[in-house]
Amino acid sequence: MLEVNKENFEAEVLGAAGPVLVDFWSTKCEPCMALVPEVEALAEKYGDRVKFCKLNVLENRRLSIGQKVLGLPTIAMYKSGEKVAELTKDDATVANIEAMIKEHGR
């Protein structure tokens, strides 16, 4: 998964041609850490249809809040520079994430 931050978010996520998934996470967020292997497995499976990125909110707090992310875990889908779907907190389950990928992936 591609690590994105305040320097490359614009180019890698907002400026990307196809659908992009961004996993907003932090080392202090236990539910996020629990999701890591699951999201990585999804990245293996759907990597050809969706670009998988992760963003450490501890190092990119302003960027996260700018994306209206104020809670973890949050998994969002972007298309053509717009956030088109988002799962946060209890909704951020593997099943829901996979469904979101299927709906918004190519």
Partner 1 sequence: MAVRECDVVIIGAGPAGLAAALYASRARLRTLVLDKGTPGGQVRTTWSMENYPGFVRGMTGPELMDRFAEHAKEFGAEIMRGDVTEVDFGGDPKIVRTHGGEEYRARAVIVAPGAEPRTLGLPGERELRGKGVSYCATCDADFFEDLDIVVIGNGDAAVEEAMYLTKFVNSATMIVVHDEGILDATAVIRDRAFKNSKMKWVWNSVVEEIRGDGIVESVVIKNIKTNERTELEANGVFVFVGTVPKTDFLRGHVELDRRGYVVANELMETSVDGVYCAGDARIKYLRQVITAAADGAIAAVAAEKYIHEEEGFREMVLDPEEPVMVAFWSPASQASLDFLPTVERVAEGRRGKLNLVKIDIYKNQRVAGRYGVTEAPTMAFFRGGQLVEKVCWPTNESELAAVADKVIGG
**Closest to partner 1 by CB, 12 or 86:** 86
Among the residue ranges 14-22, 32-40, 45-53, 96-104, the one whose residues contact partner 1 (CB under 8 A): 32-40
Is residue 22 within 8 Å of residue 104, measured between CB atoms?
Answer: no
Q: Verify binding: residue 81, partner 1, rule CB under 8 A.
A: no
- The residues, any chain, with a CB within 8 Å of residue 80's CB and separated by 6 or more, are none
For residue 28, CA distances in Å to 16, 25, 31, 77 come to: 29, 9, 9, 23
Q: What's the rounded Cα separation, in Å, for the pair 56 and 40?
A: 15
45 binds partner 1 (CB under 8 A): no
- Out of 32, 43, 72, 75, pick the active-site residue: 32
The residues binding partner 1 (CB under 8 A) are 26, 28-34, 57-58, 61, 64-65, 68-74, 88-90, 93, 95
| Active centre residues (catalytic) | 29, 32
